[in-house]
Structure 1
Amino acid sequence: MNRTLVVTNDFPPRQGGIQTFVAALLERRPPESLVVLASRSPGWEEHDAALPYPVVRRPTAMLLPTPATGRVAAELARRHGCDTAFFGAAAPLGLIAPALRAAGVRRLVGATHGHETGWVALPGSRQLLQRIAGQLDVLTYISEYTRDRLAPALAGRTRLAQLSPGVDVERFTPGVDGTAVRRRHGLGEAPVVVCVSRLVARKGQDVLVRGWPRVLERHPDARLLLVGGGPAEAALRRAVADRGLQHSVVLTGAVPFGELPAHYAAGDVFAMPCRTRRAGLDVEGLGMVFLEAAACGLPVVAGTSGGAPETVREGVTGHVVEPRSPDAVAAALVGLLDDPDRARAMGAAGRAWVEQRWSWTTIAATFADLLEGPAQH
């Protein structure tokens, strides 16, 4: 059997989107085909004891591409007969690729996750990515947007292939009941626009709040449910109070991952008008929340940042809007709240599209093909 050594800092129980992505990919591989080399994070011993494949943890909170890390990885590859290796994040650990190739690993795959589009704009980090790419057989990207930024900088040093995060279509489903969430926050039977995301400037919750009075002019009973915590929370609460919106805008604070489907289900429309900031260094690589919302049967309103438009079939599963315009955002929301039948049809189309294109079943098959393909070096 083709056995894979996974080298990653991004691994549970450490929390984060990349960690969730890597763990979900591995969950769908034959456990006997895996061995993982990772750093330590609180709770790692209990976490690893429950896994069906071996995990070796270096005694550090951050794996670095040092000669010692390369030696440990090479020894694991030899001991377990690994003929492929996967870097959960290609940079910087991909720098140990030569040590793995010398140990007999024939195929090396590294992942990117979106933030690398900012790296290639800076000379030092661009050279690092170029060096790593030249040592890999495949470098993955999550969206066409990120590919379009990476490809010119990497200049053909390796093959690029799309490997996007997937959606758990059994967890995120139209059948989830949002009644308890509605009851908890006093939403009743009101039409609800929901946004699930960290509260940071790029995500555009501030634009939702600024545009919300225009929605209330048409739908005075509507509610805006902002799900998540983050550094912008205090400023958002002030903005809500300053506009006298306390009775129609609810901020939930941070919500456990297991409760997210019910929060999506509490909404009728999903909206996150994400915008690119810092001259392109702060950008939405893809936007899994749009796909999770669609999987739950909601029409989505997305901003134009980065790969976010790739998660929407315009006019079919939702709308992409100018994220810096409260009027444009409000108009899209009003249009969907005005026509519940059209909104439900968009939600159904979104669910079908996610099942076909974005489910973990599809993504896992892509990952298998990437690991099992021929070596290029």
Structure 2
Amino acid sequence: MTVLVVTNDFPPRQGGIETFVRSLCDQLDEVVVYTSRSPGDAVYDAGLRFPVVRDRTAMLLPTARVTKYAVRLMREYDADRVLFGAAAPLGLMGPALRRAGARRIVAMTHGHETWWAGVPGTRQALRRIGDAADTVTTVSSWCADQIAPALSSAAVRRMRRLTPGVDTQRFIPDCGGEQVRKGLGLEGVPLVACVSRLIPRKGQDTLIRAWPRVLASVPSAMLLLVGGGPDRERLEGLAAAVGVRPSVVFTGPVPWADIPPYVDAADVFAMPCRTRRLGFEPEALGIVTLEASATGKPVVVGDSGGAGDTVRHGETGYLVDPYNPVPVGVRIAELLSDPAHARAMGAAGRDWVRREWSWDRSGAVLRELLEV
């Protein structure tokens, strides 16, 4: 029972969906991946236990050519199960792959399908995708609420929640944070980290605007912004304008394999993510928040989309208004000022993630949906 995974979201591209799809492939015994080209893909693919077929383009679209090639791969690898790494738009190939012999089709949804559900033309396309699949999966309760109105009643009844897992053997307390601190010259200081691409939706600018309030309570605190992205120049300028530039450290891009020690370096993880573009750009879930909890860190997270599913407010961290720097700063200062309370929240977060957010659990759900 070979599974054909059709996706644009696959390493070496970096991102939450890419990690999600790649990790699910590890949960399947027989799998072949059909995906787009990406810089460095030949070296990456050579280290995998399963075959990866790269299209000649940098973006798969449900064209006649791509559909025909997917059918060819089904026959070549004797695949009778199909997993769409992201339902829209590739799930539009579903009917053709069904005719070619797909016995089970699972279409995963993430954040962008929520705006597909709200726009008339794409809403109809999403409905067709749902009708062609045996199951449409969602990563959070919020995403399910947004997507369900666009689907037929039959497709809604078949919806299931399929969340990313967390590798609790990689994201563990004391996994290299002290070495990161030493390398950055941040030994012994109260440290807050945000690990994410530098883009407006992630809310690093809210952290910077909140930082004067944090420094008023904890003068030696430092803010570590881990990751690269198009917003760096603006954020550096904002830190200078607010007067906190000396206490804000930008690491630049960090390979995904090296991320856990950067999370471990922090006393508090903070990402006040927010919904942008009139509701069309939400945070669908936020796996990095769960990774921070797995590392034993208390979290401060913006109330956007499905991000609320990644924190137990008051127990593993706090859900905050991402548009208001005041409560963000208050919560961060509270955690930095009370290390025992922060450690207790971090320990509760790790216990929760180990119980509820394992890859084994996610894999079991996927195998059930694919009937493998």
TM-score (norm. length: structure 2): 0.95
8 Å CA contact retained: 2:303, 2:321 = yes
Give the conservation status (yes or no) of the 8 Å contact 1:75–1:103.
no
Could you say which residue in structure 2 is the equivalent of 1:214?
213
Equivalent residue for 1:249? Answer: 248
Q: Secondary structure at the match of 1:36?
A: strand
For residues 202 and 57 of structure 1, what CA distance do their matches in structure 2 show?
30
State the partner residue of 2:352: 353
> How is 1:41-52 mapped onto 2 (pairs within 5 angstroms)?
41-52=38-49
Contact 1:38 1:58 in 2 (8 A): yes
Aligned to 1:115: 112
Distance in 1 separating the partners of 2:114 and 2:22: 23
For 1:292 and 1:243, how far apart are their aligned partners in 2?
A: 30
Shift of the 75–256 alpha-carbon distance from structure 1 to 2, 3 Å rule, reads closer
Instruction: Tell me, yes or no, if structure 1 residue 339 matches structure 2 residue 338.
Output: yes
Alignment match of 1:69 (pick from 52, 66, 70)? 66
Please identify, of 243-252 and 43-52, the stretch whose mean Cα deviation from structure 2 is larger. 43-52
- Report Cα offsets for 1:144-171 as digits up to 9, x if no partner: 1110000011132422111112211111
Bigger mean CA deviation after superposition, 298-307 or 173-182: 173-182
Q: Which residue of 2 aligns with 1:81?
A: 78
Distance 1:102 1:343, change over 3 A: same
Aligned counterpart, 2:306:
307
Q: Does the aligned pair in 2 maintain the 1:130–1:157 contact within 8 Å? A: no
Among all aligned residue pairs of Structure 1 and Structure 2, give the percentage whose two residues are the same amino acid: 54
Which consecutive segments of 4 or more residues in structure 1 shift more than 4 A?
Answer: none
Tell me the equivalent position of 2:268: 269
What is the distance in 1 between the residues matched to 2:190 and 2:4?
A: 49
Equivalent positions of 1:104-143 (< 5 A) are 104-143=101-140
1:97 to 1:143, Cα distance in 2 relative to 1, 3 A: same
Q: Which runs of 5+ in 2 are unaligned?
A: none
Distance 2:269 2:42 in 1: 38
How far off is 1:52 after superposition? 2.0
Residue equivalent to 2:238: 239
2:152 to 151, 155, 174: 155
Q: Contact 2:130–2:152 (CA<8 Å) still a contact in 1?
A: no
- The aligned counterpart of 1:330 is 329
User: What amino acid sits opposite 1:59 in the alignment?
Assistant: R
How far off is 1:65 after superposition? 1.6
Alignment partner of 1:151: what SS? Answer: helix
Q: Equivalents in 2 of 1:170, 1:176: separation in Å?
A: 10
- How far apart are residue 272 of structure 1 and its match? 0.9
1:258 match: 257
8 A contact 1:356–1:362 mirrored in 2? no
Distance 1:44 1:268 in 2: 35
Match of 2:33 among 30, 36, 41: 36
Whole-Å separation in 2 of the counterparts to 1:98 and 1:246? 54
**For 1:146, which of 140, 143, 146 is the aligned residue?**
143
Long gaps (5+) in structure 1: none
CA-CA distance at 1:173 after TM superposition: 0.7
